[in-house]
Amino acid sequence: MNPRVLLTALIRLVYLLLPPVSMARDFLDVYQLALENDSEYRVAIQANRVARELRPQAMAGLLPTMELALSAAENEKNIRKGGIYKREGLVGYTSREVELTITQPIYHKDRWIGLGQAKGRVKKADLTLTLEYQKLMIRAAERYFEVLEAEDGLAFSRAEKAATDQQLRQAQKRLEVGLVPTTDVREAQARYDVALAREIDARSELGNAHKALWEITGRPIPELDPLKKKIPLVFPEPNDMEQWTRAAAFQNLELAVARQETEITAAEIRRINAGHLPTLDLVGSHDRLYASKDQYGPTDTRTSSLTLEFNFPFYQGGLISSQGREAVHRHRQAMEEMNKIGREVQRKTHAAFGGVISEISRVIALQQALQSSEAALAAIEMGVEVGTRDFVDILDAQRELFRAKKEYAQARYKYVLNILRLKQAAGTLSEQDIVAIDGWLEHPAPEHWVPKDPSGHMILAAKTDPSRQDSSVRIRKELPEEQASRHSPSQARPVHTIAWLREQNPNHHTIQLLGTRSQKAMWKFIEKHQLEKQEANARVAWFKTSHQNKDWFIIVYGVYPTREAARAEIQTLPEALRRLEPFRKNIGRIIAAAHDP
């Protein structure tokens, strides 16, 4: 075999076996990967879809049911005493029967209450999914900054080891000429060994932090953008713990889920007690019975009936009473759980608010301590040169300097995380906060790309990201034109808007690829999957609508005359898009729900 062909095949095999390495660097990229791959969030999505089936199941108990029964039999009758025809003995005949029964519930109190319960459970599932969405944001932030903290720890450990090694070498040289005692060398050697052990621990912690980040993103991310040297230290707005606590009492999602559970259990008490009430059903039936010749001759009868069925459960062995007591205890349990969660939310809000305030003070204090440690080290080094200080003092000063650097970095990360935790406790955490924190990172220089316009001409445009600037946590609402100017890429990008969709047949269908609250995230999705560069880019469109009273940006792909054609096209999409579970959508409904950009 040709060696070049063999080498190419081996390279391809290694490429297929190795896990994909993500090119993501910033916080927003990591968040998007977590949104697509985090197992806990995807489990929550499926749980929400399961809960949404409860409402149609409950509704089915109030709708009519229809049953069709068919039977055919070979019969043998032994007549011991004749009837009107005085015929006795064995008679064999064939019978066939068809029966159609339709039942319409008229009054079932328990089923109506069950329908309300199902709606409550769907609402709880939606709240739970939103809660898991916020937890995903916190989880992504914690894993991201844990990696940065571990990277800082390794860098500080290496720097400390290098500085200690330098002092050890100098001490050994000075010992040779008799300028320092042996104890200084031994002290320097001990400090070097400790620094080496710390470097080993730091390397292990960094590996664990990267593995924890991989757990939620599904792929290795070798390099992350660090925090800027200067980030805005912003006090919460309003700067009042009681106001944040009151906001959390009304808006916290974990508390809202618990509150919804108490309503569901209260409805369960009413549903169980309704088991004592009578029920009323309207039953219509039609029956046709054919029998071949028996002692009376062949028969063919047809019977239709319309029945009003009234049932009153007088006694069921104490079952309903026992279930009622159980429902009362479950409701009380839910109430106690809600009270517990309410206190936890209050504690977490206080802790997060106090964390933001204290970490601001710590960042300022540690920044000053870092400058003081650097000045002290310089002074001690000068003292060693003139003989007023020894090498042990230098080692102590270096250790204090690196500890100050590490604590300063940790305080900055804790400050950022406490901001997000405070917003989660208050129930206001959103993608806008992710975008704001992403603006506090040091990003690499913007790259250039060369897209094509619809006519095929090459257009030079810089991929810029104006949102990545110092920004306050207090994010104001932007006007649509401001959002477009901030987040949209070059105007030459050939992605359609709602105007293009309005030109299509409203009875046709399209495929929804993405829905997100962030317009910037939408454009990053388009860039990531190169939708603006594909040959079929004329089939991609975006539009804005609203979801839960907030802006919602959607990307759709293609126009198809039938549902079947749209569903068939989904199977041909790239694997990365199919994993997002795209689905068919009617264009007429899109036009009705869309807002003008």
| Half-sphere exposure for 306 (CA within 13 Å, toward CB) | 0
- Residues 248, 426 contacting (CB under 8 angstroms): yes
* The predicted structure's pLDDT at residue 308: 96
Domain ranges within the chain, ordered by starting residue: 448-593
Of 69-83, 335-349, 373-387, 533-547, which gets the smallest average pLDDT? 533-547
Q: What is the DSSP string of 410-473?
A: HHHHHHHHHHHHHHHHTT---HHHHHHHHTTB-PPPPPEE--B-TTS-B--EE---TT-S---S
* The predicted structure's pLDDT at residue 219: 87
- Asked whether residue 212 carries a pLDDT value surpassing 50, the answer given is yes
Of 126-135, 408-417, 462-471, which gets the smallest average pLDDT? 462-471
Percent of the chain at pLDDT exceeding 70: 83
- Residues 289, 112 contacting (CB under 8 angstroms): no
* The predicted structure's pLDDT at residue 164: 83
* The predicted structure's pLDDT at residue 83: 59
Residue-wise pLDDT tens digits, 245-292? 999 999 999 999 999 999 999 999 999 999 999 999 999 999 999 888
| Half-sphere exposure for 169 (CA within 13 Å, toward CB) | 6
| Cα–Cα distance measured from residue 367 to residue 235, given in angstroms and rounded to the nearest whole number | 18
Residue-wise pLDDT tens digits, 92-136? 788 899 999 999 999 999 999 999 999 999 999 999 999 999 999
Q: What is the mean pLDDT of residues 152-178?
A: 83
Of 25-29, 382-386, 413-417, 468-472, which gets the smallest average pLDDT? 468-472
Residue type, 38: D
Residue type, 533: K
- Asked whether residue 423 carries a pLDDT value surpassing 70, the answer given is yes
Nearest residue to 22 via CA among 152, 147, 130, 150: 147
Most confident of 12-16, 44-48, 312-316: 44-48
Classify residue 1 by burial, with Cβ atoms within 10 Å: 0-12, 13-18, 19+.
exposed
* The predicted structure's pLDDT at residue 479: 38
Of 214-228, 425-439, 564-578, which gets the smallest average pLDDT? 564-578
| Cα–Cα distance measured from residue 235 to residue 87, given in angstroms and rounded to the nearest whole number | 104
Confidence of residue 381 (pLDDT cuts 50, 70, 90): confident
- Asked whether residue 383 carries a pLDDT value surpassing 90, the answer given is no
Q: What is the mean pLDDT of residues 486-493?
A: 40
**SS3 label, residue 264:** helix
- Asked whether residue 388 carries a pLDDT value surpassing 80, the answer given is no
* The predicted structure's pLDDT at residue 373: 85
Does the reported pTM lie above 0.85? no
Name the packing angle between helices 319-386 and 391-425 (round to 10°): 150
- Residues 206, 151 contacting (CB under 8 angstroms): yes
Residue-wise pLDDT tens digits, 510-567? 988 888 888 888 888 888 777 765 544 457 888 888 876 778 888 888 888 888 888 8
Residue type, 523: W
Q: What is the DSSP string of 559-574?
A: EESSHHHHHHHHTTS-
Q: Which residue has the higher pLDDT, 188 or 451?
A: 188
- Asked whether residue 229 carries a pLDDT value surpassing 70, the answer given is yes
* Fold annotation for 448-593: Alpha-Beta Plaits (3.30.70)
* The predicted structure's pLDDT at residue 480: 37
pLDDT, averaged across the chain: 81
Nearest residue to 157 via CA among 114, 191, 130, 112: 191
